Structure 1
Amino acid sequence: MRAGSGVATLGLPDSPGVPRDASARTVVVPYNCLDSVAEAFDHFGEEIACVIVEPVAGNMGVVPPEPGYLEGLHALARSHGALLIFDEVMTGFRVAPGGAQERYGVAPDLTTLGKVIGGGMPVGAYGGRKDIMDHLAPEGPVYQAGTLSGNPMAMTAGLKTLEILERPGVFQALQARMSTLCEGLGQIARENGIPVFQTRAGTMACLFFTEQPVRNFADAKTADTARYAKWFHAMLERGVYFAPSQFEAAFISTAHEDTHIDRTLEAARDTMRAGI
């Protein structure tokens, strides 16, 4: 089992504290590889309870699903009696107002969401098919509660965030600014002979310092992390704070204006001209 972008950045194999039995009961397969999922089902059959996936991988940079991948996962899970669970902690409200399931037209059985649903406040949520959710108390035997469940401040922030995102043109403007930023960064990299591979899904994006297309974690690891570290620090010195890890995603928000995009591209031009 792997523990995400932080562990990938530090080059650690996994995360201490995960019980060996939990690892033994989890089958890990490469992202964007339906054949591996099919092989797992062929081997384990009905022992597989569910397929859990980030519909757009965000813990290895940003890696969108290839055409047919999510549809294939849905079909495989359904044909073997397993649930399909979308981890939309990062993609929820970012790749589309309705998350990746709206953008790609694939409905999972269950969905998990993180603090994005609370406008950045500490909150999480999950939901899904009625027949599954009916298993939760008080309708069913599965009890779920938490100290911060329904916290008034988080709920207020979340409702306001959703209200803003529903305003006409807001999400479209976010996507347009991210597109302008990505196109500008790519052009500047090409002008300076710096090999990059860019990915984007809605308002999520990543700049991989590699010539190789990135479709899974093995591809992402071909990126030049030393060069990314120089990029990060050089941009920071110029007043622009990118994610400190090559394996993290870049987001954009309503707080970003066109002037911020222009300033970022100016800093990127200076940085790449300096030959990071």
Structure 2
Amino acid sequence: MEHKRSAEIFEEAVKYIPGGVNSPVRAFKSVGINPIFIDHAHGSHIWDVDGNEYIDFICSWGPLILGHSNEQITAGIADMVAKGTSYGVPTAIEVEMAKLIVDAYKGIDKVRMVNSGTEATMSALRVARGYTGRNKILKFEGCYHGHSDALLVKSGSGTITYGVPTSPGVPADVVKHTLVTPYNNIEALEAIFNEQGDDIAAVIVEPIGGNMGLVPAERDFLEALRKITQEHGTVLIFDEVITGFRIAYGSSREYFDIEPDMVCFGKIIGGGLPVGAYAGKAEIMDMVSPVGPVYQAGTLSGNPLAMYIGKKQLEYLRDHQEVYKELEEKANYLAQGIRTHLQDLGLNYHVAQAGSLVCLFFTDKEVRNYEDAMTCDTEKFNHYFQALLEQGVLVGPAQYEAMFLSTAHTKEDLDKALVAIGNALRIAHNK
């Protein structure tokens, strides 16, 4: 494939944008090539500025459950634009959207709209601290919750540790109250609560880890987490920026049948437009300004365009919940096809699948946590990614990303992708 025009745009982009991109993963640095620049997309396919066509398994990192430019979702958006893109005062559609979310997610009473998943997690933690009167928060190694200062941390030595900054510009004093412990490790969880549980305001967790590849939480781990947070009066926050309304209509609350105190959503509830939200039980959410003392605001929060597209997508999913069975069947088909290729090639790599999410780990270990994920052969993945791209299949440009399925992906798409995956595995294996 030719990527001449993409290369020209990238050369210009790096002069004006850090790294030439507005989000690091788009730079394709981890796979050792320059990025492609996209011109348009429809359904399950996406086209770059050089006219190359790809079967798209990024789907804007998850929100495009019904595929690109779905006419049932986008119809009428021009009329909304004509009415106005932002008012700075309330609209009825914000209320309708909030009711949809509360009705869908059992156990939450109120929701506040924001503009991104990062805003949602940052705000939820502030509210949890205000509600409990405590400062410390606990997160799990390998779970990503946006780029706010308190969450840009990695673990230090040992299994129970204070976080240390992972980025310049984050003062050590900011993350000194952030604790980090391994994912899916009940013993480490109990140890940290035995030591400091009564000082922990909140635990934030991805119920299905989507930022170290695809690593679902084990049920007994989530059950232990729910039990121990209740015992210590700690707010349990589910970060559902990736899983909310994608893993099930009732999100991870329905999928695992475990109820958090708060939940965070992201781009999925906007159908791909910039949006986020945090929600929780009434006594917690009533801490939020203007009802309570915890301040949080945003001029574009709940803007009519994002609410319009998000509402249409959620209404469609509510009324067509058979979509989730269809998506899981497609994901099963794809995952099993990859496993067949691995068996044929004598490769003992690990394939993870949960709902409509699939991930191929280039390691022979079952991946339960961040440490396991770090055993992957990223060089082999890079060769695999490049071989897929040249065959017209676009997956996330990093080993630690999932493949996202949509209703627009056809069996023909999946079969073509599986042929390309088999070829790419052979190429990577022989490098």
Q: Distance in 2 between matches of 1:115 and 1:16?
A: 27
Aligned residue number for residue 195 of structure 2: 43
The answer (yes or no) to whether the contact 2:384–2:427 under 8 Å persists in 1 is no
Three-state SS of the structure 2 residue aligned to 1:172 is: helix
1:110: Cα distance to partner? 0.5
Which protein is richer in strand relative to its size? 2
1:34 corresponds, among 186, 195, 204, to 186
TM-score (normalised: structure 2):
0.60
| 1:61 pairs with 2:207 | no
Q: Distance in 1 between matches of 2:233 and 2:210?
A: 27
Q: Distance in 2 between matches of 1:207 and 1:23?
A: 33
Aligned residue number for residue 240 of structure 1: 393
Three-state SS of the structure 1 residue aligned to 2:334 is: helix
Identity of aligned residues (%): 45
The answer (yes or no) to whether the contact 2:383–2:428 under 8 Å persists in 1 is no
Q: Distance in 1 between matches of 2:419 and 2:253?
A: 35
After superposition, the C-alpha distances for 1:4-58 in whole angstroms (9 at most, x for unaligned) are 4999xxxxx8222222112211110000011111111111131111111111111
The answer (yes or no) to whether the contact 1:62–1:248 under 8 Å persists in 2 is yes
The answer (yes or no) to whether the contact 1:3–1:14 under 8 Å persists in 2 is no
Aligned residue number for residue 216 of structure 1: 369
1:143 corresponds, among 284, 295, 304, to 295
1:2: Cα distance to partner? 7.0
Q: Distance in 1 between matches of 2:142 and 2:372?
A: 16
After superposition, residues 119-268 of structure 1 pair within 5 angstroms as: 119-166=271-318, 167-268=320-421
Tell me, which stretches of 5 or more residues in structure 2 are unaligned? 1-140, 153-164
The answer (yes or no) to whether the contact 2:362–2:378 under 8 Å persists in 1 is yes
1:271: Cα distance to partner? 2.1
Residues 1:3 and 1:45: Cα distance change in structure 2 (over 3 Å): closer
Q: Distance in 2 between matches of 1:233 and 1:62?
A: 21
The answer (yes or no) to whether the contact 2:357–2:405 under 8 Å persists in 1 is yes
The answer (yes or no) to whether the contact 1:123–1:148 under 8 Å persists in 2 is no
Residues 1:246 and 1:140: Cα distance change in structure 2 (over 3 Å): same
Number of aligned pairs? 271
1:182: Cα distance to partner? 0.6
1:3: Cα distance to partner? 8.2
Q: Which runs of 4+ in 1 moved over 6 A?
A: none
Residues 1:2 and 1:196: Cα distance change in structure 2 (over 3 Å): closer
Residues 1:58 and 1:238: Cα distance change in structure 2 (over 3 Å): same
Q: Distance in 2 between matches of 1:123 and 1:275?
A: 38
Three-state SS of the structure 2 residue aligned to 1:153 is: helix
Q: Distance in 2 between matches of 1:236 and 1:42?
A: 49
Q: Distance in 1 between matches of 2:144 and 2:290?
A: 34
Tell me, which stretches of 5 or more residues in structure 1 are unaligned? 8-12
After superposition, the C-alpha distances for 1:112-132 in whole angstroms (9 at most, x for unaligned) are 011111011100001011111
Aligned residue number for residue 10 of structure 1: none
After superposition, the C-alpha distances for 1:189-212 in whole angstroms (9 at most, x for unaligned) are 111112210111111121101111
Three-state SS of the structure 2 residue aligned to 1:245 is: coil
| 1:25 pairs with 2:174 | no
Three-state SS of the structure 2 residue aligned to 1:205 is: strand
1:100: Cα distance to partner? 1.2
Q: Distance in 2 between matches of 1:25 and 1:188?
A: 46
Higher CA-based Rg: 2
Three-state SS of the structure 1 residue aligned to 2:343 is: helix
1:91 corresponds, among 219, 226, 243, to 243
The answer (yes or no) to whether the contact 1:3–1:15 under 8 Å persists in 2 is no
1:102 corresponds, among 231, 241, 254, to 254
| 1:75 pairs with 2:247 | no
After superposition, the C-alpha distances for 1:234-258 in whole angstroms (9 at most, x for unaligned) are 0000000011111112111122222
Three-state SS of the structure 2 residue aligned to 1:111 is: strand
Instruction: State which drifts further: 264-273 or 231-240.
Output: 264-273
Residues 1:2 and 1:60: Cα distance change in structure 2 (over 3 Å): closer
Q: Distance in 2 between matches of 1:212 and 1:94?
A: 27
1:168: Cα distance to partner? 4.4
Three-state SS of the structure 2 residue aligned to 1:27 is: strand
Q: Cα RMSD over matched residues?
A: 1.9
| 1:52 pairs with 2:191 | no
Residues 1:2 and 1:251: Cα distance change in structure 2 (over 3 Å): closer
